[in-house]
Amino acid sequence: MAEVACDDRPLVFEDLVRWMADGAKPASEWRCGAEHEKFVFKLADHSPVPYEPGGIKALLDGLTRFGWTPVMEGENVIALERGMANISLEPGGQFELSGAPLETVHDICEETGSHLNEVKIVADELGLGFLGLGFTPVWRRDEIPVMPKGRYKIMREYMPKVGKLGLDMMFRTCTVQANLDFSSEADMVAKFRTSLALQPIATALFANSPFIEGKPSGFVSSRANVWTDTDPARTGMLDFVFQDGFGFETYARYALNVPMYFAKRGDRYIDLAGRSFVDFMDGKLAELPGERPTLKDWADHTTTIFPEVRLKKYLEMRGADAGPWSRLCALPALWMGIFYDSQALAAAWDLCKDWKIEDHERLRADVARVGLKAQIAGRSVQDVAKDMVAISRSGLKNRNRLSGGMVDESGYLAELEHIAETGVTPAERLVELYNTRWGGKVDPVFEDFAY
């Protein structure tokens, strides 16, 4: 049986709170884990790639030559592990690196570069390529193969019951994320509020998904728009985070009341879609009669909640489209500069502390459509983005974490500084290519923007 409360008694609410609170670390132990997803396509015709033959499974198998260990679900390899990093599959075969918790952006960028080099070696042998966009630019949902993971079958059947775009989220989006630490409940609250308010600004800076099925979609981030109609019970801007008294208990109570997807027993996923974790704690689930959850069940449940910032034993920044190699390093740099310098964190909160709660969801929707041209509290998102990136730069300089070449981490923000200064999102540059050099076609993106 998986982990339970330390004295083998049934879990109580305080255990759920303590599980998150135990993530607190002194500043000397703060790290950042970076994640990014990418679409896998066939070089010959730019079509999506099945699990097998000659597809995702072969890619996973091929990477074992670099010391990755397979993770199995039944007879299928569904992930790889190496140290504290892992490679996993999203529902439509999107290939994800979940990096190890690392101390500097230099370390993260080295890890990212090494990963992209390894997957390219194997992919070249298989005739496969990788594309970093927030939303697949040409594929229809019904064209995309389904990966053999039990939790995705449950989600696939449940999603259409609670939103119109959940299946698009599962099969047609890619993101880049950063996972960061906190030192205490007060530090978590400060970081959660600041990053949640500013997450739409990051969405605008990284907006990189203007196409759906071969045409401009009307959004600079089609990925971000998908999240506005996926499942209101587990997504969004979490107004309660900005209210007095917010803390670990508040978030645990919220998570406790988010409908479940599953419980995992061995290799088997028990379909609990729509069920109550509260009932699970009371032993009242008909699918698991008399059984009560473990801390592993709670940890699994927290991974099925998808707000723009997510709390587990750390804070996950979830607002950015996938992009090229340079912006994969920029996302952790942006948030490390803000989170890991106290002056920068305070300055970033000053940017957004007076925004009204009711403005947060509106801003989230606006940036998906118009990016840096959106407005908040009488300012353009572009102006806020300039300030946000400058604050992060100052925080990275204050950290003074130098590479072997004695260069600090602030250089990783150069591309974001250019985007903020010009006010032109990566998505708008893609649409300009579509309207000019690409001659009204999207397919050249697979040549011009492949890894």
CATH fold, domain 13-448, is Creatine Kinase; Chain A, domain 2 (3.30.590)
pLDDT category of residue 2 using cuts at 50, 70 and 90: very low
352-359 average pLDDT score? 96
The DSSP output letter for 387 is H
- 9, with CB counted inside 10 A (0-12, 13-18, 19+), is exposed
Whether 400 has a pLDDT exceeding 50, the answer reads yes
Whether 270 has a pLDDT exceeding 50, the answer reads yes
Q: What is the pLDDT of residues 313-324, one digit of tens each?
A: 999 999 999 999
Distance CA 123, CA 58 (A): 9
167 with 160: CB under 8 angstroms?
yes
- Amino acid 271: pLDDT: 98
Whether 295 has a pLDDT exceeding 50, the answer reads yes
Q: What is the pLDDT of residues 409-439, one digit of tens each?
A: 999 999 999 999 999 999 999 999 999 999 9
111-139 average pLDDT score? 98
- Amino acid 7: pLDDT: 55
Distance CA 219, CA 216 (A): 8
Task: Give the lowest-confidence range in 7-11, 141-145, 165-169, 339-343.
Answer: 7-11
Nearest-Å Rg of the Cα atoms of the chain is 21
- Amino acid 1: pLDDT: 37
- Amino acid 4: pLDDT: 45
Whether 202 has a pLDDT exceeding 80, the answer reads yes
Give the contacts of 216 (CB within 8 A, at least 6 positions apart).
210, 431, 434
* Average pLDDT over all residues of the chain: 97
Domain ranges of the chain: 13-448
196 with 349: CB under 8 angstroms?
no
